A and B are shown apart, each in its own frame.
Chain A
């Protein structure tokens, strides 16, 4: 997947978990909990969705690394085989 594809996938899954968020308005550095107000169950659902979409296994200790679009794109890109 290219960076752009990962970004699109991330935003799609984010708006599926939290459809109150308009993906158009999400900034690269918006924090999913602090800025976008996801709760911990949302984060868990996002992780599961990203795993299904990309095949990347995201362990609990790496959750902070998918907390913004920018972080997630970098993290997932490095992990996708």
Chain B
């Protein structure tokens, strides 16, 4: 049997420092408590936990004591509205302090937290809320009106919509601010069990709907461990993770790992802005900085001279994640920041950093580093339904021996897809990689059709589905094409319905439609029209062939090709 070795039965030989979390406990573990209350109990109530920088120049400090108060009040608001342990709370907003209070309050209340990227269009939001049976949505009035109001009534599970910010509260919604003010600040963390669901992060599939990866409260052990050993987070460190909590990095390492390790974390509401970023590092004396290749490449474009007015001497450790960091960027960062960016690798499913250039390790520019201590990674190849481990320097699929605390426990309502991830006691990542003789891993590409753009994984199916909703579009095939800044960008090949002719205006109309439905991060940046698309006998569009042609690569096995591209 190839499927009996799943996460539940796999090896559990490493404790990842778990013992310190279970001191004087009763077998319960709650992320909200570990991130906040533990530090307050230890006398660190006055330490700044979150330093928030507003778009307009505002600066607000929240201490661990403040986070305890706010997250307790949020827990009370949920409780007062009849929500129960295990209920599902979705958050859809920019990086404002309330988001962090909601995340911690939801976990504290034993409910399940799902962050969504606020720049998603209505379509990805709705799909995810349907799959996740959302009971609560926390958002802003503006996002609610533009992206949610039209279909809110069609989500039967949704009981409560909380609105952040001043101004009008749309009909059927509740203002969060006044609710927090009147809620009780006394709300003890729920005694959740280690395997109780805590977080659901959505990730894209090649086919079908997005998958909700379920993570449990016990994951906090690995968040703490990896934050400390992969990112060098120490109590009191000034730390800045630039990722948005709408993606897994911004939650695992933008909320949980830093707070559990009692750092002071910077949260910048604004998007990438060169001088703002450099100024923030200098002014706030950032010590540990976790960012992404797209941003790093944008800094490189601006050149070393743009960094000259700034003092970066506070920086102690730099890390990058999302897609492979090119060697030039590693070398460049060492020159201008005095520290190289340390690339690391992990996925929504793994919940935490698996392979890393850790503090103190020699960085091999272009490599993702070595497996974290306690993590067993290999390069494998499928052979007759079983797996064969490949020797060094051979390209295969990157696989992990499951069993660490932050590994996903399920894809929500999709057990078959979940089981498919595990073969012969390995978790298959879907990434192609190789390991060199020194044990460093090197990313090669995706084993499937998923697109990695600006560090986000985009499923072509979700994009194609939105495109064919446009009246002019008959069929669509979506692929990722290389881009020097974003890694890959989304490109669509489209055939038109009769009565429609290809034109610049139509290209814009279709792209505009996709952006409205999906949001700019997911919609295609480029659309080309074709008379026909390459398809198999069963009518499946051969994305692989479109991509090979786009890149000028060999077309490989085309024996299943029935109709070709014209």
Contacts and interface: CB of A to CB of B under 8 A. Distances in A.
A61 B306 contact: yes
Interface range for B: 20 to 34
B516 interface: yes
A34 B520 contact: no
A39 B520 contact: yes
A37 B520 contact: yes
Nearest to B118: A37
B508 interface: yes
Contacts of B509: 19
A37 B489 contact: no
Contacts of A8: none
Nearest to B514: A20
A38 interface: yes
Interface in A8-56: 15-16, 18-21, 33-34, 37-42, 44-45
A18 B515 contact: yes
Given A20-B516, A45-B525, A39 B508 contact: no
Contact of A41 (B275, B485, B519): B485
A40 B483 CA distance: 14
B119 A37 contact: yes
Given A19-B508, A45-B525, A61 B489 contact: no
Given A34-B55, A45-B525, A39 B119 contact: yes
Given A15-B508, A19-B508, A44-B298, A60 B274 contact: yes
Do most interface residues of chain B lie in helix, strand or loop, or is the interface mixed?
Answer: helix
Contact of A33 (B271, B302, B515): B271
Nearest to A45: B525
A50 B60 CA distance: 36
B310 to A, nearest CB: 11
Given A37-B520, A38-B520, A41-B485, A19 B273 contact: no
Nearest to B507: A19
Contacts of A41: 294, 454, 485-486, 489, 520, 525
Contacts, number: 60
A38 B424 CA distance: 45
Interface residues of A, number: 21
B271 A40 contact: yes
A21 B508 CA distance: 10
Interface string B274-301: 1100000000000000000011001101
Contacts of B511: 19-20
Interface in A53-73: 59-61, 63-64
A18 B514 CA distance: 10
Contact of B515 (A20, A40, A59, A60): A20
B551 to A, nearest CB: 20
Contact of A63 (B273, B294, B513): B273
A36 B275 CA distance: 22
B109 to A, nearest CB: 32
A15 B507 CA distance: 12
B22 interface: no
A14 B105 CA distance: 40
Interface of B: 55, 119, 271-275, 294-295, 298-299, 301-302, 306, 454, 485-486, 489, 508-509, 511-513, 515-516, 519-521, 525
